[in-house]
Amino acid sequence: MSAAANWWQTGIIYQVYPRSFQDSNGDGVGDLAGIIARLNYLHSLNVDILWLSPIYPSPMHDFGYDVADYCAIHPLFGTMADFDRLLAEVHARGMRLLLDLVPNHSSHLHPWFIASRSARDDPRRAWYIWRDPAPGGGPPNNWLSHFGGPAWTFDEASGQYYMHQFLPQQPELNHRHPEVLPAILDCMRFWLDKGVDGFRVDVIGMLLKDPLFRDEPENPSWNGVREYQRLLHVHTANLPEVHALIRRMRAFLDGWDDRLMIGELYLPNADLVRYYGDEQGAECHLPFNFQLIRAPWDAAVVRHLVDAYEAALPRHAWPNWVLGNHDQKRLASRVGSRQARVAHMLLLTLRGTPTCYYGDEIGMLDVPLPLALMQDPPALRQPEIAHLVGRDPQRTPMQWDASANAGFAAAGVRPWLPLAPDCGAHNVARQLADPSSALAFFRAMSALRRAEPALASGSYRSLDAGKPDVFAYLRGDPGNALLVLLNFAAEPRCPVLPLSCAAADLLLSTTMTPPRRVSLSQLVLAADEGMVLRLPVAGCVA
């Protein structure tokens, strides 16, 4: 697949964390009517595809990733009529809507688990993963929860343990039982029939576990900090047979026209690209590529990882890049506010579908919280490393304007998480009025991406920039080539480029200086500056 033809290839994905986007009914939690009220803003960002974190009924132990009903809307977020209106309004703007599908585990309050737990001989018993205690008592094996503690909880009433790789309130479905996948597919059908454009599938690589329930080996390079990392998860994630299951999900989705399936996977290239599937069977259109989130922010490292990913992609696979999500420290907190613009220029000029996280377009920062105000379960379950594992700081309410509660909720309402202390000055309204703001830059960059086929679908080639700290690459064809120069340093840099032309047209700079013709031999990138330039039609690129 060389040229981008589909909406999910050319479009920009934007993740909305519904709890934190816009409250419309005064309960301090964002909702669907709030998202509808902000659709024109989202449209103005030139983003094309909205992905909503879970909006289903849930006791909210993991803030919606514990689903109690896959085919309904949590009253906290609104009604099914609100959802239908949201979908229609998104489509009316030419945009698409993705839901979050959580097939690996349900809530402990899902009727399936309530039945499963009710008796050993209940027909739903084997829909979940139940095991007898180990011979000497205690959990059946050494498997661990991502959120701290064992991956097993004892059920007194039935005398067995059930498995959960997250909270005890998130029991794992048994995808080796023949009825479980069809039950999940039925839930997909419900939303696909409504016209939802696809799904981001939660922890898609974890759907199957070792049928022999063998202990996981110790991780020889464990640093002693996160308990979960003490083991190598060879029996609970990325089992070879999971691919067949994912192929069935994809084949089912392909029963509807033009829908999208994204998989959440944190994997090295060789393992990640297997989740595209192959000629025998398609899997994810986009297995999420999180490398830009995890890599040290260094030009040489980033060049290497982009080149290595491009080289690892199978011929039929379309690339994708992600800068942030609700599980990761915020972009501007990771790389700094100035480099956050460079990172957005990178994201929006690389080959492949970009994914952004709400608020990053205005450079929102993590909001540090004292333990007493934290709500995220991994933090509460591991208080000694709460600041390392807690995800509340990156989930705080969107900063809209200088009014009470930054426009997220009405005056006098207490938002579910505190707003950033500087939200009176750091917000959408302020940045809309400032032509050199992060937001103005984001909009200009996303507009440029939309306007330039070389960015949406052209080829990619990195260049030696002759200086450390500069990442340089070409997009497009020799007849229509754009040059991207990114200065990762907080000092000016003068790249020395292997190009034969003397001048180029600067289309956009992260500094928002006006477009102009520049000399390539005397080019100076300011500290933290990124540039997109158009090269002359002929004689520049070999």
Helix (H, G, I), strand (E, B) or coil at 287: strand
Interface with ligand GLC (CB under 6 A), residue from 27, 298, 327, 401: 327
CB 394, min distance to ligand GLC, A: 11
Considering only residues 474 through 493, tell me which ones interact with ligand GLC, judged by CB under 6 A. none
CB 20, min distance to ligand GLC, A: 13
C-alpha to C-alpha distance for 351 and 453, rounded to whole angstroms: 11
Residue 65 lies near ligand GLC (rule: CB under 6 A): yes
Quick check: is 210 catalytic? Answer: no
Quick check: is 227 catalytic? Answer: no
> Residue 360 or residue 452: which is nearer to ligand GLC going by CB?
360
Tokens of 273: 């690209």
Q: Compute CA distances 474 → 10, 32, 533, whole Å.
A: 18, 41, 10
Residue 172 lies near ligand GLC (rule: CB under 6 A): no
> Residue 307 or residue 327: which is nearer to ligand GLC going by CB?
327
C-alpha to C-alpha distance for 485 and 292, rounded to whole angstroms: 17
CB 19, min distance to ligand GLC, A: 12
DSSP-H helix ranges across 420-497 = 428-432, 438-451, 453-457
C-alpha to C-alpha distance for 519 and 22, rounded to whole angstroms: 46
Size of the site for ligand GLC (CB under 6 A): 9
Considering only residues 250 through 289, tell me which ones interact with ligand GLC, judged by CB under 6 A. 264
Tell me how far the alpha carbon of residue 38 is from its chain's centroid: 20
Helix (H, G, I), strand (E, B) or coil at 227: helix
Interface with ligand GLC (CB under 6 A), residue from 166, 191, 276, 441: 166
Interface with ligand GLC (CB under 6 A), residue from 203, 313, 445, 484: 203
Amino acid at 194: K
Q: Show the binding pattern over residues 70-109: x = contacts ligand GLC (CB under 6 A), - = does not.
A: --------------------------------x-------
C-alpha to C-alpha distance for 396 and 20, rounded to whole angstroms: 6
What is the chain's Cα-based Rg? 24
Interface with ligand GLC (CB under 6 A), residue from 62, 82, 366, 392: 62
Q: Are 151 and 167 in contact (CB under 8 A)?
A: no
CB 352, min distance to ligand GLC, A: 21
> Residue 206 or residue 470: which is nearer to ligand GLC going by CB?
206
**Which is catalytic among the residues 197, 264, 366, 529?**
264
Residue 202 lies near ligand GLC (rule: CB under 6 A): yes
C-alpha to C-alpha distance for 170 and 526, rounded to whole angstroms: 49
CB 368, min distance to ligand GLC, A: 19
Neighbours of 375 (CB within 10 A): 15
Residue 163 lies near ligand GLC (rule: CB under 6 A): no
> Residue 17 or residue 473: which is nearer to ligand GLC going by CB?
17
CB 65, min distance to ligand GLC, A: 3
> Residue 102 or residue 242: which is nearer to ligand GLC going by CB?
102
C-alpha to C-alpha distance for 113 and 183, rounded to whole angstroms: 13
**Which is catalytic among the residues 202, 227, 376, 392?**
202
> Residue 263 or residue 495: which is nearer to ligand GLC going by CB?
263
Query: Which 3-state string (H, E, C) describes 43-95?
Result: HHCCCCEEEECCCCCCCCCCCCCCCCCCCCCCCCCCCHHHHHHHHHHHHHCCC
Residue 357 lies near ligand GLC (rule: CB under 6 A): no
DSSP secondary structure code for residue 154 in this structure: E
CB 537, min distance to ligand GLC, A: 45
Locate the DSSP E strands across 310-438: 320-322, 353-357
Residue nearest to ligand GLC (CB): 65
C-alpha to C-alpha distance for 283 and 188, rounded to whole angstroms: 15
Active site residues: 202, 264
Q: Which residues bind ligand GLC (CB under 6 A)?
A: 62, 65, 102, 166, 202-203, 264, 326-327
